Structure 1
Amino acid sequence: MKLQNVRNRFLRCLALACVTGICVYAATVNVWAQSQVIAYVFPQHQLIQPGDIAARKLTRINYAFANLQGGKIINGFAEDDRNIPALVALKKENPSLKVLVSVGGWLWSGNFSDMALTKQSRELFIDSVVAFIDKYQLDGLDIDWEYPGMVGAGNHFRPEDKQNYTQLLKELRKRFNHEEKTLHHSLLLSVAAGASTEFLDHTEMGEVQKYLDSVNLMAYDYYEPDSDTTTGHHAPLYTNPSDPKKISADQSVREYEKAGVPPAKIVLGVPFYGHVWGQVQDVNHGLYQPGKPVTNAFASYGNITATMLNHGYERYWDAAASAPYLYSAGQKIFVSYEDPESLRLKSSYVLGHQLGGIMFWDYSGDPSGALLDTIDQGLHVNTSSQGGMR
Structure 2
Amino acid sequence: MKFKLCTFLGSVLPRLSLGLLAFVLILSIPFTFVNSQSINKADKPYRIIAYAGGDMNYWKMGAAKLTHINYAFALVNDEGEIFFRDESRSAQHLAQLQALKAKNPDLKLLVSVGGWGADGFSDAALSDESRKIFSQSAIAMISHYGLDGIDIDWEFPGQPGPGIKYREEDKQNFTLMMKSLREHIDALSDERGLTGENRLLLTIASNDDQRYFEHTEMKKVHTYLDFVNVMSYDMYTVGSATTGHHTGLYPSDLDTLLRTTDSAIQLHLEAGIPPQKIVVGVAIYGRGWTEVNPENNGLLQPFGKWYGFIQYSELKEKYIDKNGFNRHWDDVAKAPFLWNRGSRTFISYDDSESLMNKTSFIRERGLGGAMYWHHAYDPSEELLNVLYKGLKE
TM normalised by structure 2 equals: 0.85
Given candidates 287, 291, 294, the residue that maps to 1:279 is 291
Report the counterpart of residue 256 of structure 1 in structure 2.
268
| Aligned partner letter, 2:86 | F
Residue of structure 2 equivalent to 1:59:
67
CA distance in 2: counterparts of 1:50 and 1:123, whole angstroms = 35
- Superposed CA deviations along residues 40-79 of structure 1, whole A, max 9, x for unmatched, are 0022xx254532x110110000000001102100013351
Letter paired with 1:162: K
Q: Which is helix-richer, 1 or 2? A: 2
1:118-137 alignment to 2 at 5 Å? 118-137=127-146
Report the Cα distance in structure 2 between the residues aligned to 1:315 and 1:350, rounded to whole angstroms: 25
Aligned AA (1:161): D
| Structure 2 counterpart of 1:82 | 92
Secondary structure of the residue aligned to 1:174 is: helix
1:165-207 deviation line (CA, Å, top 9, x unaligned): 0001011111111110222331100000010100011111111
Aligned to 1:205: 218
The answer for the alignment partner of 1:155 in structure 2 is 164
Taking the aligned partners of 1:209 and 1:241, their CA distance within structure 2 comes to 33
1:210-225 paired onto structure 2 within 5 Å = 210-224=223-237
Task: Please tell me whether residue 191 in structure 1 is matched to residue 200 in structure 2.
Answer: no
Question: CA, structure 1 residues 101+49, in 2 after alignment: closer, same or farther (shift >3 Å)?
Answer: closer
The one-letter amino acid of 1:76's match is R
C-alpha deviations, 1:64-101, integer Å up to 9, x for none? 00011021000133510100111111111100000000
Equivalent in 291, 296, 300 of residue 288 of structure 1: 300
Equivalences for residues 29-48 of structure 1 within 5 A? 33-43=44-54, 46=55, 48=57
Structure 1: distance between partners of 2:149 and 2:136? 13
- The amino acid of 1:144's aligned partner reads D
Q: What residue ranges of structure 2 are gaps of 5+ in the alignment? A: 1-42
1:227 corresponds in structure 2 to: 239
Q: Which amino acid aligns with 1:63?
A: Y
SS in 1 for 2:132: helix
- Aligned-partner Cα distance in 2 for 1:265–1:148: 20
2:129 is equivalent to residue 112 of structure 1: no
Secondary structure at the counterpart of residue 44 of structure 2: coil
Name 2:20's counterpart in structure 1: none
Q: Amino acid of the residue matched to residue 301 of structure 1?
A: Y
* 1:343 counterpart residue number: 355
- TM-score normalized by structure 1? 0.86
Equivalent residues of 1:229, 1:292 under 8 A apart? no
Q: In 2, distance between residues paired with 1:192 and 1:89?
A: 25
Q: Output the amino acid matched with 1:148.
A: P
- CA change 1:198–1:324 in 2 (3 A) is same
Aligned partners of 1:265, 1:240: CA distance in 2, in Å? 27
Paired residue total: 344
Instruction: Report the identity percentage.
Output: 41
Higher relative contact order (CA 8 A, sep 6+): 1
Asked whether the equivalents of residues 59 and 100 of structure 2 are also in contact (C-alpha less than 8 Å), the reply is no
Q: Is the 8 A contact 2:158 2:171 kept in 1?
A: yes
1:303 aligns with 2:314: yes
| 2:367 corresponds to 1:359 | no
